[in-house]
Structure 1
Amino acid sequence: MQTTSGTERFNELFSELEDCDEDGQKLIIEEMNKIVYEMNEEEFKSVFTKELFNKMNKMIEDKKLSMGNVLLLLKRVGYCKVLKNMQIALRKEESEEARNEVEIAFLDLYSIGIGDLRQELYLNEIKEIIKYHQEHRNLSHLAYQFAWKFLINRSFYDENFEEVIVNDLHFARETAREIEELARNMDWMKEKEEERVNETKEEILLMEWLRKLEFFFRRCRMRNEEFAGLIESIVRVFRAAKDKHEVFSINAFMY
């Protein structure tokens, strides 16, 4: 397959890295990152091969490429991979395979460093995905939770996100709905913890919502009338779990 000028230029720049000092490498990688952002999926796969990563690893071992500059490049690769997978969600595909890919995309986005991630690379897309899900329920519980967790964590770096989270995307209303739906699918009737061999998926998701709520209440000041319904939902969950589920009872005490 004949490469495009963009991928050719990327490979040329990569070959120049080992002949530069660290500052020179940083400038080259900045140019490489601009090329990566413009790549389509086919070009992306043709460039980021096992062979490329092996070369990169050898350059690190030979001290010809600093780890800091490697991370500078790989962060952009991670962002672009996430953004390309998120277009699956924007196309509103509802197959099991599409759901899994969206979960992976949001997990990657939540896991990689977000402090220097530019807002325009993701915010509008995530808002559209969340709003579409609110109307059509096309995402899994896990994908939806990761989308919210990312936005809440991002509010740590930008207080303007609070307005988007609370009033535009209706965080309290949606969290209350998720908590109550997960709670309805849990078996509160097992009185002995020894009977429960493993936590269910619903239990794990519900606990993650409660942990993230604790962070939200400590970090964010903005509230609206929907928060009264959220508090009522939390209280109902803890009442249902009282004396039946030790973990949730402990968390009720912590609140």
Structure 2
Amino acid sequence: MNEQMEEMNKDKFESVFSEELFNKIHQMIEEEKLSMGNAILLLKHVGYWKALKSEWANGFLESSLSKRIRKMMIDENEKKERKDENLLANLCKCYISLSCNFSPKVISICVPLLLRDALNNEESEEAHKDVEMALIALGNIVKNHEEKDCLFLNEITEIIKHNLVHRNLTHFACQLAWDYFVGNADLDWETKSGKFFGAFFAREAVRELKELKSCVCWEKKKKRKGKKAKGRKGRKEKLIIKR
């Protein structure tokens, strides 16, 4: 599936992940042809690639699957006993990562759980993936929610601080955290804290650029200047250059 996702350009991505497809997934859940657990894994995967490729899955918001997940989130959150917070967090990651419009109720349910997972410092691949998906969802709220007001800046700061010491995030997850931190209009870069993070950001950027530079054959790029990169390697290099 990763190979297929990597092959997709913008038009293909949007045509595949249409409202019709999400409705079909919902129908398969209703008919018990697809478990909710497997549907969640699929949707998180789509949400990850949507963020990585900076594409949109426009069909999700109006789909029957979107409405089902939103209802499940609200119902689970309102339980007085035996609330499954891990299920709720996964539903939030699916819904938020694939949406572009969030009600205050959805944000109030999801943000605390997303922050909990984003602040997870466990040293395991599964934990790192959860952090990454939580950051994707949080970043999507910031991009699409009008009343930001330094939403979870302190928490994002803690995530960056921890990663600077332990380097336990993937490049993409670290980029998501930095994107929000650096792009926050209300951050005062003249303060002691601002200068501290500014210096770290500069070093991180240099390190990242050096590593990304080694992933692209720049000599070939010069030769085919003006021509579109072809094949899987060309698409992969395009994503790297975008980063």
Pick the structure with greater CA Rg: 1
- Structure-1-length-normalised TM-score: 0.46
- Structure-2-length-normalised TM-score: 0.48
Choose between structure 1 and 2 for higher RCO, CA contacts under 8 A separated by at least 6 residues: 2
More helix by share: 1
